[in-house]
Amino acid sequence: MLLILGRRLLGAFPVLLALVMVVFVLQKVAPVDPVVALVGEKAPPDVYEAARHQLGLDRPVPVQFFHYLGHAAQGDLGTSTVTRTQVSSDIMKFLPVTLELVFTALVLIALIGFFLGLATARGWRGSGVLRVVMISGASVPVFLACLIAMLVFYRWLDLLPVTGQTSAYDAPAGPTGFLLVDSLLAGRPGLFLDDLQHLILPALCVAIGPAVAVGRVLRSSLEGTLRAEYARTARAKGLSETQVLVRHALRNALGPVLALMGLQLAGMIGNSILVEAIFARPGIGLYISQSIGRGDFNTIAGITLVVGLLYVVANIVVDVLQAAADPRIAM
């Protein structure tokens, strides 16, 4: 286990280095002058040159790259030209809201995906209807799922809110930044339930596509493992079909499912940005949409690096979980 973790960590460094290099090059070829964005178009030439020197843009390009790499390694992602504060500080303020959405979506993906996969693989009653639902769910784009969810659960049924993170004006600024956790630490279960109600629809919209994909892969994988030789041997020893499924087939079927969830994570983060903009949640999605509209390339580059880092870390975690589910991978 430790060996595969070490290998994945070593393999992550070239990926992160390449990501920093790509972001740096994009900053150089972008038609946005960071000095003008910082001091304004009507700034005097001496002010412009002073700002250019302060940002290190008068140095050779290789020196600028290593300067940028060193600062990025220390968590310094530059200054936002919109908020006039450090990009890393802004990201630390908005990122927990997005991670809360992604984590909740992951829970829904596991619940919905495993239910769909088990139900259709075992041929439970209504599995034919579930297959139609799976095909339909895979065909619905995220923005349309958001509109349907708003129409059904807010407009028609009036069950769930659709805007913001919470209805409370005195939400605690807790130590974790995750409102679900901080509300419980503050002893406010009402705020926890309110935040959860605001979170269900956005998380469901993020989760529906990946959950259907997980269900389809799990169904296909289970159908293969249930026909394997070890499954037939287990049945011959007198184990029930449920015992065969839980003890043997399910664990051996988890490998492709975990790999798919790792691949789906990048799309989930991208979809969460879109969903946050639609549901007006104060996360990375709302932050980057405002930054794109105002040409704040420092913020766009910083968020790109952070999202890339999250994707690399998530895939390392998936590889470790795969090795735990199937020890042959760690060999």
Interval 5-33: pLDDT, tens: 777 778 788 888 888 898 888 877 777 77
The answer to whether the beta carbons of residues 265 and 311 sit under 8 Å apart is yes
- Give, as one character, the DSSP assignment of residue 315: H
Residues facing 86 on adjacent strands: 79
> What amino acid occupies position 121?
A
Residues facing 79 on adjacent strands: 86
Of 81-95, 126-140, 277-291, the one with minimum mean pLDDT is 126-140
The answer to whether the beta carbons of residues 244 and 226 sit under 8 Å apart is yes
Residues 6+ apart with CB under 8 A from 319: 4, 8, 262, 329
Residues 6+ apart with CB under 8 A from 328: none
Residues 6+ apart with CB under 8 A from 110: 214
| Average pLDDT of the chain to the nearest whole number | 81
- The SS3 of residue 86 is strand
Residue 202 pLDDT? 92
Residue 309 pLDDT? 87
**Is pLDDT at 1 greater than 70 in this prediction?**
no
Q: pTM for the complete prediction?
A: 0.82
In Å, how far are 86, 108, 167, 269, 287 from 103, measured between CA atoms? Answer: 26, 9, 21, 10, 19
**Is pLDDT at 330 greater than 60 in this prediction?**
no
**Is pLDDT at 312 greater than 80 in this prediction?**
yes
Chain centre to alpha carbon of residue 22 = 21
Taking alpha carbons only, the member of 289, 276, 252 closest to residue 202 is: 276
Distance between CA 316 and CA 290 in Å, rounded? 31
Residue 299 pLDDT? 85
Taking alpha carbons only, the member of 163, 178, 195 closest to residue 286 is: 163
Residue that is written with structure tokens 């799976």 in the block: 134
Of 96-100, 132-136, 162-166, 327-331, the one with minimum mean pLDDT is 327-331
More confident residue, 129 or 234: 234
Per residue in 97-142, pLDDT (tens digit) is 888 998 899 899 989 888 888 888 776 666 667 777 777 767 778 8
**Is pLDDT at 56 greater than 60 in this prediction?**
yes
Phi/psi region, residue 64 (left: phi>0; alpha: psi -120 to 50; beta: rest), is alpha
| Residue ranges in the chain assigned as alpha helix (H) | 2-29, 34-39, 45-54, 61-73, 87-122, 127-139, 142-149, 179-185, 189-225, 229-236, 241-244, 250-279, 284-293, 297-325
Residues 6+ apart with CB under 8 A from 241: 235
Residues 6+ apart with CB under 8 A from 309: 16
**Is pLDDT at 329 greater than 60 in this prediction?**
no
**Is pLDDT at 144 greater than 80 in this prediction?**
yes
Of 179-188, 189-198, 233-242, the one with minimum mean pLDDT is 233-242
* Residue 270 pLDDT grade (very low, low, confident, very high; cuts 50, 70, 90): confident
Q: What is the CA radius of gyration of the chain?
A: 24
- The SS3 of residue 126 is coil
Taking alpha carbons only, the member of 10, 51, 14, 12 closest to residue 33 is: 51
In Å, how far are 255, 261, 269 from 2, measured between CA atoms? Answer: 18, 22, 28
Residue 203 pLDDT? 92
**Is pLDDT at 272 greater than 60 in this prediction?**
yes
Q: What is the mean pLDDT of residues 252-270?
A: 78
The answer to whether the beta carbons of residues 64 and 56 sit under 8 Å apart is yes
Of 11-15, 34-38, 229-233, the one with minimum mean pLDDT is 34-38
Highest mean pLDDT among 76-85, 92-101, 177-186, 247-256: 92-101
Of 118-127, 178-187, 254-263, 304-313, the one with minimum mean pLDDT is 118-127
